Amino acid sequence: MLLSHRTSVKIRPEYSNIIGHMCYAASKLWNICNYERHHYKELGLEKYPDWYYQKKTHKGNLWYKQLPSQTAQETSECSEGLPT
Protein backbone atom coordinates (compact mmCIF):
# COMPACT_ATOMS: atom_id res chain seq x y z
CA MET A 1 0.00 0.00 0.00
CA LEU A 2 1.37 3.41 -0.97
CA LEU A 3 1.03 5.85 1.91
CA SER A 4 3.07 8.73 0.58
CA HIS A 5 4.75 9.93 -2.54
CA ARG A 6 8.02 11.84 -2.65
CA THR A 7 8.28 14.69 -5.12
CA SER A 8 11.29 16.86 -5.85
CA VAL A 9 10.80 20.32 -7.27
CA LYS A 10 13.64 22.50 -8.47
CA ILE A 11 12.97 26.13 -7.61
CA ARG A 12 14.93 29.03 -8.97
CA PRO A 13 16.75 30.93 -6.20
CA GLU A 14 14.75 34.14 -6.73
CA TYR A 15 11.49 32.29 -5.99
CA SER A 16 12.63 30.17 -3.05
CA ASN A 17 12.38 33.03 -0.55
CA ILE A 18 8.84 33.92 -1.66
CA ILE A 19 7.68 30.31 -1.50
CA GLY A 20 9.27 29.89 1.92
CA HIS A 21 7.38 32.90 3.28
CA MET A 22 4.11 31.64 1.79
CA CYS A 23 4.63 28.22 3.38
CA TYR A 24 5.29 29.85 6.74
CA ALA A 25 2.14 32.00 6.46
CA ALA A 26 0.07 28.96 5.46
CA SER A 27 1.33 26.98 8.45
CA LYS A 28 0.48 29.81 10.85
CA LEU A 29 -3.02 30.22 9.38
CA TRP A 30 -3.60 26.48 9.60
CA ASN A 31 -2.49 26.49 13.26
CA ILE A 32 -4.89 29.33 14.08
CA CYS A 33 -7.84 27.61 12.42
CA ASN A 34 -6.98 24.24 13.91
CA TYR A 35 -6.66 25.69 17.42
CA GLU A 36 -10.00 27.44 17.06
CA ARG A 37 -11.66 24.19 15.99
CA HIS A 38 -10.21 22.19 18.89
CA HIS A 39 -10.90 24.82 21.58
CA TYR A 40 -14.10 26.47 20.34
CA LYS A 41 -15.94 25.93 23.64
CA GLU A 42 -13.11 27.48 25.65
CA LEU A 43 -13.01 30.43 23.22
CA GLY A 44 -16.69 31.12 23.91
CA LEU A 45 -18.03 30.13 20.50
CA GLU A 46 -21.60 28.83 20.55
CA LYS A 47 -21.13 26.21 17.86
CA TYR A 48 -18.32 24.41 16.08
CA PRO A 49 -16.62 26.81 13.62
CA ASP A 50 -17.09 25.68 10.05
CA TRP A 51 -15.14 26.79 6.98
CA TYR A 52 -17.50 29.68 6.16
CA TYR A 53 -17.22 31.12 9.66
CA GLN A 54 -13.42 30.86 9.71
CA LYS A 55 -13.03 32.34 6.24
CA LYS A 56 -15.15 35.34 7.24
CA THR A 57 -13.55 35.77 10.66
CA HIS A 58 -9.91 35.46 9.63
CA LYS A 59 -10.10 37.48 6.43
CA GLY A 60 -8.42 40.41 8.21
CA ASN A 61 -5.75 38.21 9.80
CA LEU A 62 -2.12 38.98 8.92
CA TRP A 63 -1.40 35.40 7.84
CA TYR A 64 -4.54 35.26 5.70
CA LYS A 65 -3.53 38.47 3.93
CA GLN A 66 -0.02 37.14 3.20
CA LEU A 67 -1.43 34.40 0.96
CA PRO A 68 -3.28 34.42 -2.34
CA SER A 69 -7.01 34.21 -1.57
CA GLN A 70 -7.49 30.70 -2.97
CA THR A 71 -4.51 29.40 -0.99
CA ALA A 72 -5.78 31.01 2.22
CA GLN A 73 -9.26 29.57 1.69
CA GLU A 74 -7.89 26.11 0.99
CA THR A 75 -5.65 26.28 4.06
CA SER A 76 -8.65 27.18 6.23
CA GLU A 77 -10.64 24.34 4.71
CA CYS A 78 -7.87 21.79 5.30
CA SER A 79 -8.00 22.35 9.03
CA GLU A 80 -11.65 21.28 9.08
CA GLY A 81 -12.32 18.07 10.92
CA LEU A 82 -14.75 16.51 13.29
CA PRO A 83 -15.49 18.27 16.58
CA THR A 84 -13.63 16.91 19.57
- Model confidence over 52-65: pLDDT tens digits? 888 889 999 999 99
CA 64 to CA 72: how far, in whole Å? 6
Q: Can you give the pLDDT at residue 3? A: 80
- Residues 6+ away with beta carbon under 8 Å from 74: none
Q: How many residues does the chain have?
A: 84
Report the number of secondary-structure helices (H) and strands (E) in the chain: 4, 0
pLDDT digits (tens, 9 = 90+) for 1-52: 668 888 898 889 889 999 999 999 999 999 999 999 999 999 999 999 888 8
Q: Is the pTM of this model over 0.85?
A: no
Q: Can you give the pLDDT at residue 83? A: 52
Q: Can you give the pLDDT at residue 44? A: 93
Best CA proximity match to 43, nearest among 52, 35, 53, 55: 35
